Amino acid sequence: MVLTGAGISAESGIRTFRDNDGLWEEHRIEDVATPQGWRANPALVWGFYQARRRQLNEVEPNPAHAALASLEEGLEHMLLITQNVDDLHERGGSKDVVHMHGQLVTLRCETSGRSEHRMDAADLTDEFLTCNCCAEPQRLRPDIVWFGEQPMFMQEIYAAVDACDVFIVIGSSGHVYPAADLVHIARAKGARTVLVNAEAPMNIGAFDEVHLGKAGELMPALVEAWLSESD
């Protein structure tokens, strides 16, 4: 099982949007990344995420994404859990990807809760969009897990953590829960825990094996070594 965080996307040029002072593009997190912010000022939140969606057309997968696709292809079973909301894993070749914090390429109907893939040019303007699932089209919202909302697919994720024999974390700070706690669960179940990260994260003590540096530089060789071990 592999868990990826913002670090792997940052190497492709995805802006984190979060500045050193904790602001997102000069906005408070409460204003642009919470259900309350959406209700209070949907135009602001919509414009913020539309900018992030447009940015997807400006970036490409990096060698770490390609290496993970090779790892998946070379193993009997691998599940890739990502905290990232971009589609770089899929574009890099990974097939079995679970987005626990939602996705930018999809939008969600506020009434039915259904998600739609909406990445045409007409879908990327700052005008609100409506769904295709309701008889009377309803407003769409970003298909993102905001602060205060429950991450997606947690039952599937916990089952995979319980069953895995190797748990690899790439590009994650160890700050965001429940993702940061998954390594502790995996280790308690006897899994070998591996970290690939630019710097030591908050939960570094939970890893049996640590590789510090850029994932794009480290992952190709690491994957080659791991696949050799599995043969």
Domain count, the chain: 1
Q: Is the pLDDT of residue 186 over 80?
A: yes
From 101, 117, 175, 184, the catalytic residue: 101
pLDDT tens, residue by residue, 113-155: 999 999 999 999 999 999 999 999 999 999 999 999 999 999 9
169 found inside a domain:
yes
In a domain, 214, yes or no: yes
Q: Is the pLDDT of residue 90 over 90?
A: yes
How much is the average pLDDT of 100-119? Answer: 97
**Torsion sign across C-alpha atoms 113, 115, 120, 126:** positive
Residue 93, domain member (yes or no): yes
Model pLDDT for residues 30-46, shown as the tens digit of each residue: 999 999 999 999 999 99
Average pLDDT over residues 22-35: 81
Domain annotation covers residue 40? no
pLDDT category at 176 given cuts 50, 70, 90 is: confident
Tell me the CATH number at 68: 3.40.50.1220
3-state secondary structure 76-133: CCCCEEECCCCCHHHHCCCCCEEECCEEEEEEEECCCCCEEECCCHHHCCCCCCECCC
Residue 34 falls inside a structural domain: no
Q: Per the domain annotation, does 144 fall within a domain?
A: no
Decide if 187 is inside a domain. Answer: yes
Range of the domain at 203: 2-13+61-101+151-230
Is 117 known to be catalytic?
A: no
The SS3 assignment for 169 reads strand
In a domain, 166, yes or no: yes
